[in-house]
Structures are given as C-alpha cells and as structure tokens.
A and B are shown apart, each in its own frame.
Chain A
Amino acid sequence: MASMGYFNVDNGFLEAVVRGFRSGILSASDYANLQQCDTVDDMKLQLQGTDYGNFLQGEPSPLSTNTLALKCTEKLVAEFEHLRVQAVEPLATFMDYVTYGYMIDNLMLIITGALHDRDTNELMAKCHPLGLFEGLSAASIPNTAKDLYEMVLVETPIGPYFTDVLSLWKQPQVGERQPGVEDLDELNIEIIRNSLYKAYLEDFYEFVTTKCGMETAEVMGGILSLEADRRSINITVNSFETELSKDDKCKLYPSIGQLHPEGTARLALCADVDAVRAALDPYQDYRNVLAESGVGEEKSVENAFFELEVQLNKDAFEQQFHFGLFWAYVKLREQEVRNIVWIAECISQDQRSQITQYVNIF
C-alpha cells in the first residue's frame, strides 16, 4: 500500500509521459489505412498523420523499408532515452534491465557475425541501438568464451550473467581443460545466448519481485514468466536435431515461469513437435500456440507468442503504480515497428495476401 501512496512522488510524471506515448501507438484504423497504401512513400504520408509526425522528412524518395525501420526504431529509442534520463531509482535500474536483453542480442549478433567473417562495422549498424555498450565491437576478436568474458564482458552489466555460462563447461570437467570445448562455434553460441538469457531473466525476476513493490512484481512477474516459457519452448523446438543432451537442456531452461519445474522437465524429454505439444497440453495459455501450426512453420509460432505478449503488455496499462508500463511500452512499440516493417515489406514486394499477418495492438 505504501508504494501506491508514494509512487507518484518519484514516478508519477514518467508514468504520465509513458501513458501519453501509449496513446500514440497506432490503432486498428491506422493499420487499415496503411494497408491501403500503394507504395512505401504513401505509408510515409499516412504515418505523418500519426504520432510519428515528420520523422521521415528529409529522406529522399523512394523510401526503402530499411530506412523506415531505422527511423521508427530511432523514435522509440529517443522516447526511451527521454524517459531513462529522468528516471530515479529503482525505476532507473529497471529501465537499465530492459536494455540488457538488447545487449545480449547485440552481443550474439556480433559473435555470430565474426564467426562468419562478416565486417564488424556492418554488424554494428544492425545492432539494436538500445543495446549498445562500450566495447561491443571488440566482441568479435576473442575466440573462446573465456576470452570473451575476460576481454569484453567483465565490465558490462551482462558480465555477471556470463559467469553462469562459463560454469556450464567447467563443472563437467574438473581440472583438466579440454581444448576446443569453449570455442565459439554455432552450437556454443546458441548455448551462450540461452544461458545468458536465462541468467538475465532470473536476475530481472529477482529484481522486480524484491525491489520494485508489489504491483510491479505482479505485472512483470507475468510478463517475464511468458518470456521464460517462450525461451524454454524455443530451446526445445530448436534442439531436436542437435547433440544437446537432456541435462544440458535442463540447464538452459529458466527457473522461472509457469513451466518450471514440472513443464520444463517434460520438455527436456521431448524429441519432436508432437511430444512438445503433449507436454504443453496441461498449460492452457500455451496449448494453442503449437496446436495451430504445423511442423516447421516457425513464423506462426512466433506470431502466436507475439500475440500473447502483446496481450500481457496491453494489460499492463490497465494497472497503475508499477514499472511494468515501461517494459510494456517498449515492447509494444517494438511490435509496432515490426508491424510497420511487415506491411512495408508486403507492399514493396507486392505480397498483398500476406499483409494482414501483423499483430494488432490497440
């Protein structure tokens, strides 16, 4: 109760701002208008009538989908920075936590790129601007996980999560160090990604449940649980044809979420999509996620999760006095950018039949 009384002292203004931003999120009628456009330039005109305003002014025609995506994301980042610089503790830390996820993604992008000998500067341009950190570009140099940690990550906020990653390899082989095991190959990168995420989600969960008050814990708990469950399911589905053992999988499943521990234990045993479906059957929320899609239709599984996520994030706006709004806002805007880009791609590639497959928000 105390948090309700004092919430507005520190965070009332930012909550108001974020709610104002929220009303700028494109509505169903905006999307309907966007779909009517014949070219991406028409979309620009259409978007001028929304909160996006003149963000594309000064861009020469014809407009590419990439510029559109870039500019939309820039706007999101500008808004996020605007909120972040005014935030006070613990909201400031909370918002930092929001960026850690992007940092992990960026890091993985760089490492994977380096593995395939891509140009690092090119990769840097593709990184999400929310997840940039000092030394990120240097992440392409090290060849082993340990080097990566010691050279680049030890100072960064996601450094502590990496210790968990390192322990993955250390425990099975006490003492002797086998050459090659820690090398950054494709499988290891996936393992690193997933265990980083696991550590991140668990840490974030810990943070929201202990330091941000009851309301935040309630809202963010739900959101993070979904995030964790999504990762568990993805890990399972993606690991069918790999040499990942059951124990290894168990180590990658986040220890939060609805599926933990019982569901994850079942998931670990699955060897094909049908088994996963069976394992998820007791969970009402996820029952339909896989049921609709055939095997291999990645896109719709993803979309189904996006829809669940959007729903949760929308619900976050129904409550007050919590930080979940800030997370929800970023995620909804991100979804909106994905939608805009999807529509733009469909228009520019003349795939109008697919155009409706975006996730409606409001």
Chain B
Amino acid sequence: MGTIFRSEKMQLVQMIVQNDAAHAVVEAFGEEGIIEFRDLNHGQPFHKRAFTDEVKRCEDVQRKLAALKHALEADGVAIAEAAKESMSAAELAGVLAEKEEELNHMQMQELMLKKNHNALLEQRHVLELGAGIYAAQAPGSSMSAGGAELEITDFASSTATSMLSYIAGVMPRLSMASFQRVIFRATRGNAAVYSKAIDETLHSYDLKSGETEAVEKDFFMIFVAGDVLKSKISKIATYFDGTLYAYPDMAADKAAMKREVLKRLGESSEILRTTAQMKTAMLTDVGAHFASWNFTICKDKMIYDTFNKFDYDVRRKVFVADAWVPESKVYDVYKTLSAATAKAGVETRPVLNLIETKATPPTHLPVDKMVYGFQALVNTYGTPRYREVNAGAFAVILFPFLFGIMFGDLGHGTLLMLFGLSMIRNEASFEGKKLDDLVEMCYGGRYVIFLNGCFGMYVGLIYNEAFACPMSIWGSGYDRDKETIIHPPIFGVEPAWHHATNKISFFNSFKMKISIIVGVLQMTFGIFLSLLNHLEYRNYKKVVFQFLPELGFFGSIFGYLIFLIFYKWSVPWVELGKPAPSLLTTLINMFMSPGAVALPENAELLLFQGQADVEAVLILVALVCVPLLLFPIPFLESCEHEAALKKKLAYKALEGGSAHEEAAVHEEGEHEFSFGDAFVHQAIHTIEFVLGSISNTASYLRLWALSLAHSQLSELFWEKLLVEGALEPKGSSAANMIGCWVAVIMWIVISFMVLMVMENLSSFLHALRLQWVEFQGKFYSGDGIRFVAFDFKTIGEESSE
C-alpha cells in the first residue's frame, strides 16, 4: 500500500547558506517543490520582518500587472500561454514600470481625444437641434414658411440680441429637471428654457480618475434678458454638469461652423482609430508576455515571503533555514542545495544539518488522482496525524461498498458508473480550467462517483434488480410449480423471492442482517487498525489496556451476534420442525436473564446446546473488559510521568541546579501532565466506546433502511408509472398513446430526480457518516498538520482561488 497507508517519514533539516546564494537556493527549491520551510520568526508581525520591503515591492509590481490585465481585458486582448522567459524580477519591474507609464500615457491621450470627439459630437447636436428651437422661438418665424425662414430668422435674431441673449448647451438628462427649476427660481421666471432629447448616447469623461461613463443627454437652449442673468445661468449650468456650446446668430456662420465641425469630426475619428490601433498593438505585445511576467513576479514574491521565514542576519553573512523534508528526499535536498550554491558562484560550501526534534512533523501524503477524491473526504474530517494509519487508504473500497449496499440497483449503478467514467475519459477537457462549483465538485470526485457506480452495479447484481425489475441472469433454482428448491442460487439472491408474497419480509430480514454483519466487520477492522497505530507509536500499554479490552468487549457481544446470524442461517429450521428463535430476544435475554435459556420452559428460545454456558463466559469477558479499559492507562501514564520527571531532576541536580529549576523542568515538558485530566479523558473514551459500540452497530441499520427505500421507491415508480401507465394494454386510441408517452417521460424524469439525484446524495451522505463516525471513530485521530511544499507550481492555483 506504500505511502498512502501511512504518511511519509519526515526529517527536519537545517540549512546554513551564505547570503549571496540565498535567492538561488530558494529558487531551486521552489522548482523542486519537495520541502516545507518552517517559520523561524514566528510571532513577529509582518512589517517587522527583514524582507518586508521586497515583498511590498513585488506587490506593487503585481498591482501594475493587475492594471495591465484590466486594460487587456477591457480591450479584449487574449493572454498567451506562459512561455519560458529569462528575465529577472528586478529587470521586469523596470520593464513593467515603463509599460505602465506607456499605457497610462496612451490611455490619457485616448481619453483626451475621446473627450474632444464627444465635445464635437455635442456641438454638432447643438447646431442641429438648436436650429429648430431657435427658428421656432424667434418672433415672426412661425409665420414664414419654407426658404424664407432663414432670412427672417437672421433678421429677428439680430434685433433680438439687443434685449434677448441666449445660451445653448448639453446636459445630462437626469439633472435637466432640477436645473430648469433652479433657473426658474434664479431668474424669477424670466427665462425661457427649451430642451430636447438627444438620441445618441454621449459620454462624460473624468480626466482625473480616467473614468468614462455613457450618459443620456439633453440639448437645452435658454433665452434670457440681460448679461447678468446670462452669466449667472452659465454658472448654474456648469454646476449641473452641463457644457455650453457656441451657437452663432447668423445663418452663414452657422453653416460654416457646421462644416467645420463635421470636418473636424472626421479627422478626430481617424485619429481615434489610429490611437486605438497603437494601443491594441502595444497590448497584444503585453498579452504575449503577460503570463510569464506574472509567473516571475509571483515566484519572486514567494521567494521573499520564504526569506521572511528565515533567520537572516545581514551582518552574519549567512542565513539559517529550517525545513521539513520527506526522509526519502533528504539526499535530493542536499544535491539541490550544493548545485544551487555552486551555480550562484559562492565558494563556501553550504551546511545541511539533520535535526532531531520533538516537534510534530507535518503529514505528507502524496496521492494520485484516483485516491485524491477519497482522501479529500477523509481530510474534511481531519488531516491524518503524522504516521497514523490513513483512513483514506481504506475509504477507496469501503466507502463505495457501503454506498453500493444502499444504492444497490444494476440499472442505476450503471448510469452512475457511466457518468463517472465519462468524466474520467474527458479529463483533458476539464483539467486546468476554471469550473463552476457544482461541476468542480463532481469532477474532483469523479473516481468516487465511478467506484460508487461500480459497487452499486455489483450489489444490484446480488439483489438481482435493475430499475426495480427482477432479473434472473443465472436462472432460478426454485421450481414454482412444485414449490421445491432444485439447487441453491448461483449468484446473489434467489430470483424467485422477487415474486413471492413475503418478498418484503424476506428482504427486510436479509438486508438487516447484512447491515449488521458489514457494520460489525468494519468496526472490528477499525479496532485492529488502532492496534497498528499503537504499535507504530510504540505505545504498548495501549495495546494491552486499550486494544485488547476493546476487542474483547466488542467481540464478545457483537462478534457473538454475527455468529448467531450465521448459525441461524445455517440451520434448516423448517426441517427441524421448530420456529427459529428471534435473535433480538436472544441477545436481550443474554443480558437481562443470563442462563435462562437453559431452563426447560425456554426450550423454544434455545439455539444450540451449551448456549447458556457460552453466553455466561462472554458476558463475563465483556464485563471484565470495561474496568480494564477504564483504569490502568491513567495510572500507567501517571507513573511514566513521575519517572521522567525524577530523571530530569536528577540530571539537573548533577548539573548543580537550584530549587527553582523544577519550574523550568515543567516548562520544558511539552505540556503539563495532570492525572485528573488523563483519567477524565480515559473515562470519556471508555463511555464513548461502550455506549458507542451499541449505537454504532444500530447505526449501520441505515444501510438496510436506505437500501429498502431505494428499492421500494424505484419499484413504486416502475409499477405505478411505467407498468400501469404505459405498458398495460388499454386499446390504441390517440389519447392512450399520448398518455403512454407522458407516463414514460414522467417515469424517466422522476426516476432521475428522485433516485439518481436525491437517493444518490442521501446514500452518499450516509456512507460518509458511517465512514467518518462509525469506522474512523475506532482508530483515527485526524489532528495532523498538512505538509505544504514550497512549490512554484502552486502559483496558478493560488491566484484562481
């Protein structure tokens, strides 16, 4: 089972390297991705650390990159795949600063041009819309018609200007209403305001922040008497975000201006186009390098973040780094280290010390993509403790098996298996892409789904059911006419049971017992795994006083139950001519009235000869096991602690320590020992185990319950929708045919929703609970710290999270 069974052995190493080589060394380790650096400056705030400035500089460059990315996205320029580029972070910072400057400059220029363009557009609208209003307002113009209009307008305006002046401009539609009200109040009603909506969407530009906003605007023209009011109104207009535009009096001027405006508009759109092209060209260039630049900067930031974890002293000329390494990789680390220092051209050889430590090493469990999903389920509960038996290794088969018992149906299992298989087959199209939550969850657990489907099929074959249809692949061993058994079923359940009148009670009894058997076996297996843990940690007192009592207690009650189940199955009660005794009653009587089965009046309850004696022994074993589990361990721990303390004090005394050293000894110990705590802890464990063994066994009955629900539901849909609604012959009228179709579609949809989605999820949930609580509870502590390798490959993942 290799490394998936237990986490890898870890070694703490200490590196002492000359400062000049620091960057090269850390970079080399980042490429390798095999070690995890320990934080030697723990507790020191970030801004007090030695390389804060460098990290901040990287962040600043990252900010620039983000700005570039924003521009790329806004312009729709694709970001090319990362290519290898040999540019150091320092050079890159310079390049990026240049690029940012260039981009800012370009954007500013573009903004100015756009603003100018927008102003020209607005001027054009003013000229166009103004003509109508101006003509309508000038006295006498309404009387005239056709070509005469222009002349009269000119005449009217030239006389009107002496007393009536006007202002024309453009203003956002939203401010228009309140602007008009303010004008009315400011001039006490002595102003005529005319406005008209502009169809085209115009923009407003903020040169300071560089923001562009599309706004709907209105054209307005105000006629007032007197210059004072005119200047006041112009002021007010600017406060309402309005822009004033010239509107010449004379028709000839107007025409000339219009020509001018149109000409400049043409020019300006030409300039805008070339500017946009230039910008796109520059951005395409950026886009081609963007990914590699981003990688370089992220890498540099990771390196400096790692530097911050080192014991780094500029005056000492060397830095000290502690790191966790898998034992098998220590030599690789040494090679990398010497290669990197050699490459950096440093003469002093680096030093690599292996350090013995009491600190808990991180849990390193390299998983392949198949185990990944199962390990993730286990890690959700808790990362395995260092060198503990990894529950994930067993989840790969046990979890799908539990699922299969609940989801046992060949048809549904096949569908699920195919779903998982399709995702496995199409891995290439999923990998490395950003998926949405639901898809990502399914994809991450594709092997879980696949195996769940496989086991659903397998158990479905045992149950002989496909979409609730009874199957008879290997033929029946029961002659229904003669009502005799010809031969035992070849594989799985005898198909004839599906047609029997007592089908439900048979399957209930069968599945219930199967659930108990599976449960007790799995939990016993869990207890044995705890033995492996005790042996690994060399905790022999726990082998004797925890593992053995637990096994004794569990085996004598539930092991006996399993024995009874098989015994009851193996005895032909009909031929013996006596009713089969209820196992529940037997088990209850074993505790409530021990020895009573031997009495003659209870002969009906007797399963086998000597039952009373066997039960008496078993009860005795179970009862002895409880105090054995409860008492010895706390006392042993207390003794061990005392001995260790004495030893330490003796050493101290030898070194000439004084009385207050005792306190120091206590501090050195990893944590304070207290007999009370140890006892309470063990008492809780005992109570949990004793009570838990009963409730956990009962808990496995959920296998039966869910399996029953699944088969009953699918049978219900089959019978009521498909058979009664569609398959039973009811004549061939058009209504019937449509009804058939409806029934078939309903059966498909409901089967899918209820059985494939809901039942699937609930089976998954219950299997997960059995895995976590009932199985892992027996041996798994799950309080490890995950090993996070210092690896540049994680760069992309980080940014996507």
Question: Which A residues contact B (CB, under 8 angstroms)?
Answer: 33, 36-38, 41-42, 45-46, 57-58, 60-61, 120, 134-135, 137-138, 140-141, 147, 150-152, 154-155
Contacts and interface: CB of A to CB of B under 8 A. Distances in A.
Contact of B185 (A42, A46, A60, A154): A154
Contacts of A60: 60, 63
A163 to B, nearest CB: 15
A38 B232 CA distance: 51
Contacts of A147: 186
Contacts of B67: 58
A155 B182 CA distance: 10
Interface string B513-545: 000000000000000000000000000000000
A38 B56 CA distance: 14
Interface residues of B, number: 19
Nearest to A134: B178
Given A36-B45, A135-B182, A151-B186, A141 B235 contact: yes
A61 B60 CA distance: 7
Contacts of A152: 182
18 contacts: A37-B47, A41-B56, A42-B47, A45-B46, A45-B47, A58-B63, A60-B60, A60-B63, A61-B60, A134-B175, A134-B178, A135-B182, A138-B236, A141-B235, A147-B186, A152-B182, A154-B185, A155-B178
B608 interface: no
A141 B45 CA distance: 53
Q: Which 4 A-B pairs have the closest CB atoms?
A: A137-B239, A138-B239, A42-B47, A151-B186
B239 A141 contact: yes
Interface string B55-68: 01000100100110
Contacts of B591: none
B185 A151 contact: yes
Nearest to A150: B185
Contact of B182 (A33, A45, A58, A138): A138
Contacts of B66: 58
Contact of A61 (B45, B56, B182, B240): B56
Contacts of A137: 239-240
A33 B44 CA distance: 12
B173 to A, nearest CB: 14
Nearest to B236: A138
Contacts of A58: 63, 66-67
A209 B235 CA distance: 42
B671 interface: no
A115 to B, nearest CB: 16
Given A41-B56, A45-B46, A61-B60, 19 more contacts: A33-B45, A38-B47, A61-B56, A134-B178, A135-B178, A135-B182, A137-B239, A138-B182, A138-B240, A140-B239, A141-B232, A141-B235, A141-B236, A141-B239, A147-B186, A151-B182, A151-B185, A152-B182, A154-B185
A156 to B, nearest CB: 10
Contacts of B240: 135, 137-138
A60 B101 CA distance: 13
Interface in B39-56: 45-47, 56
Nearest to A124: B239
B499 interface: no
A138 B67 CA distance: 36
Interface in B90-121: none
B181 interface: yes
Nearest to B53: A41
A208 to B, nearest CB: 30
Contacts of B56: 41, 61
Nearest to A49: B46
Interface centre among A60, A61, A120, A151 (most CB of B within 10 A): A151
A150 B187 CA distance: 10
A136 to B, nearest CB: 9
Interface centre among A38, A45, A147 (most CB of B within 10 A): A45
Contacts of A120: 239
Contacts of A45: 46-47
Contacts of A41: 56
Nearest to A141: B235
Nearest to B177: A134
A61 B52 CA distance: 14
Contacts of B178: 134-135, 155
Interface in B232-279: 232, 235-236, 239-240
B520 to A, nearest CB: 48
Nearest to A48: B46
Nearest to B174: A134
A35 to B, nearest CB: 12
Contacts of B235: 141
A46 to B, nearest CB: 7
Contacts of A38: 47
Interface in B143-181: 175, 178, 181
B175 to A, nearest CB: 7
Contact of A46 (B47, B63, B181): B47
A182 B615 CA distance: 109
Nearest to A58: B63
Contacts of B45: 33, 36
Contacts of A154: 185
A21 to B, nearest CB: 26
Contacts of B239: 120, 135, 137-138, 140-141
A354 B47 CA distance: 22
A42 B55 CA distance: 12
B69 to A, nearest CB: 12
Interface centre among B185, B186, B239 (most CB of A within 10 A): B239
A31 B114 CA distance: 46
A140 B239 CA distance: 9
Contacts of B186: 141, 147, 150-151
A15 to B, nearest CB: 32
Contacts of A140: 239
B449 to A, nearest CB: 37
Interface centre among B60, B175, B186, B240 (most CB of A within 10 A): B186
A145 to B, nearest CB: 14
A61 B175 CA distance: 37
B218 to A, nearest CB: 16
A151 B179 CA distance: 10
A152 B178 CA distance: 10
A137 B56 CA distance: 40
B57 to A, nearest CB: 9
A155 B47 contact: no
A236 to B, nearest CB: 36
Nearest to B57: A61
B484 to A, nearest CB: 72
A138 B239 CA distance: 6
A242 to B, nearest CB: 31
A61 B239 CA distance: 33
B188 to A, nearest CB: 9
A134 B175 CA distance: 8
A141 B238 CA distance: 11
A135 B178 CA distance: 8
Nearest to B186: A151
Nearest to A39: B47
A45 B53 CA distance: 12
Nearest to A36: B45
A37 B232 CA distance: 51
Contacts of A135: 178, 182, 239-240
A42 B178 CA distance: 46
A57 B67 CA distance: 11
A29 B67 CA distance: 34
Interface centre among A38, A42, A140 (most CB of B within 10 A): A42
Contacts of A42: 47
B615 to A, nearest CB: 60
A347 to B, nearest CB: 12
Nearest to A61: B60
Contacts of B63: 57-58, 60
B235 to A, nearest CB: 6
A36 B47 CA distance: 10
Contacts of B60: 60-61
